[in-house]
Amino acid sequence: MDAKKQKKRKMLIGIIVVTLLGALSWILLENPQVFEIRTKNDKPTSMYSDKLYSYNFYPTDYDLDPTQDDRYMQYDRYVYYKNGAVSQAILEGEEDDYGPAVKFFTEYFKTVIAGDAETYNTYFTDRYYKDNKPYDRFAPQMLYNIEVEQLKEQTNDDGTMNWAFNVTYMIHRNDGTFRNDLDSDSSKKLYFELIGYADGTVKIDYITYYKR
């Protein structure tokens, strides 16, 4: 191979290397989570599942401010209410228009996003806690693609009300402190039963999952 061809070959290799480095730099800037180390859950989890799974969770940050995550802020963070075929985004200030159960869900999700375990634990009935334990703590959660689908509404003779909902949402960069049965940016449909009291209080009475 003469000197001219060797020079061309070196130039070509140099161009390829620069291009690859540029592409790698772009990936790191746009998707830093691709190369971030996630912690392996030591034990299989079955929070809302009939099977045992083990996930790689992101590092926990109890001081996390979800609004500082640029990628998360690009996601659809509205709570959507579905009743029949129509699904509507619940806009701020319009929560009362959808009734007490849906208004409750908007507060429920705000509490989860804030990582407020103390307030979260007040959202459940004594009956629920017969089979479930309250949270000690969980980190702020970056929830998105949230939808509550109403299945039932019933008014009782004693003035209470009952509702049933399907609930779905995703968690960006899930750290496993709130949902240890769900991988990041994936969803699992849950079934909620709510009870409303005469004083306007709404609480969760039961949560379960759909078997896959």
Q: pLDDT per residue over 101-128, tens digit each? A: 999 999 999 999 999 999 999 999 999 9
| 170-179 core/surface letters (b: 16 or more CB in 10 A; e: else) | bbbbbbbbbb
**Contact assessment for residue 148 and residue 82, using Cβ atoms and an 8 Å cutoff:** yes
DSSP H or E run through 23: helix 3-30
Query: Tens digits of per-residue pLDDT, 37-84?
Result: 444 444 433 456 666 667 889 999 999 999 999 999 999 999 999 999
**Boundaries of every domain in the chain:** 1-30, 38-209
Predicted model pTM: 0.78
